[in-house]
Amino acid sequence: MHPGPYNPPPGAYPPPGPYGRNVPRYGHPGAGSRRGGCSCLKVYCCCCCCLFITLVLIIGGIVLAYFIIKPHTPKFSIDKFEVKSFNISDDFSLKSHLEITAKADNPNKYIEITYGEGKEPKDNSVQVSYSNVTLCSGTIPNIFQPKKNVTMIKIDLKGDLKKEDWAAGSGDSLASKLKNNDKIPLLVAIKAPVKVKLGSWWVTKDEPLVVSINATMNVKNLAEGKNPEISDKKYSIGLLFGKIYTKLS
């Protein structure tokens, strides 16, 4: 019999399997692994797209909240000195009792502030110094300031200096300025812990911010029974959060 389409030569087809069935043929080895690789790549791309969309939504939400809230830095100033006692003796011992009035202006529409409540005592201090010598000191009282509000904070300061507490010549210099009623250059250094409330949410409840204010000024009539005059005020304001310090002005 001659070979033809209906009479293939011997060996043209594989022998039948058991029970007369032909063994099934499979595609090229590795085709399945390529399909698995494509599936992994699609999952990876989907994850990247979802992550990108999530980041865009978060950043967009923060930007939108910023423009809605419009946060402003509160403004601080020293407005008044009241002298309850300020007596320097011939041996340069000084007993002083001052009350200064600080003005805190909160221009924010949605933010409220609490002053004076800190975790560490060192974070709440007010010092009045002359020529690097602290004349008197005190602390910021606990005060809550509503939104869009101007609050006057009265700070009680006391000091008791001996002759040995003065730097070289500083006691004599201060006594001379008081006698001649000259302007006295003073530094008022304030560290105030603050807690910020946004709506009903305390933003810094557990870790309060610390506002640092250094105010230099000239004060005249620094004596009991007189009305002190404050001039040439300059302020340096910074913000401390944990160990991060940011200068505001």
User: Average pLDDT of each block of 10 consecutive residues along the chain (249 residues)?
Assistant: 55 54 51 59 84 81 62 87 89 91 93 87 92 94 94 95 84 88 94 89 81 94 88 92 78
**Model-level pTM?**
0.72
- Residue 192's pLDDT is 92
d(CA 233, CA 187): 10
Ramachandran sector of residue 61 (left: φ over 0; alpha: ψ -120 to 50; beta: rest): alpha
Contacts of 87 (CB under 8 A, 6+ apart): 94, 95, 96, 224
- Torsion angle defined by CA atoms of residues 215, 220, 222 and 223, in that order, rounded to the nearest 10 degrees: -170
- Residue 241's pLDDT is 78
- Residue 212's pLDDT is 93
- Residue 84's pLDDT is 93
Residue 200, CA distances (Å) to 67, 112, 185, 197 in order? 19, 10, 43, 7
How many residues in the chain? 249
Residue with tokens 């830095």: 73
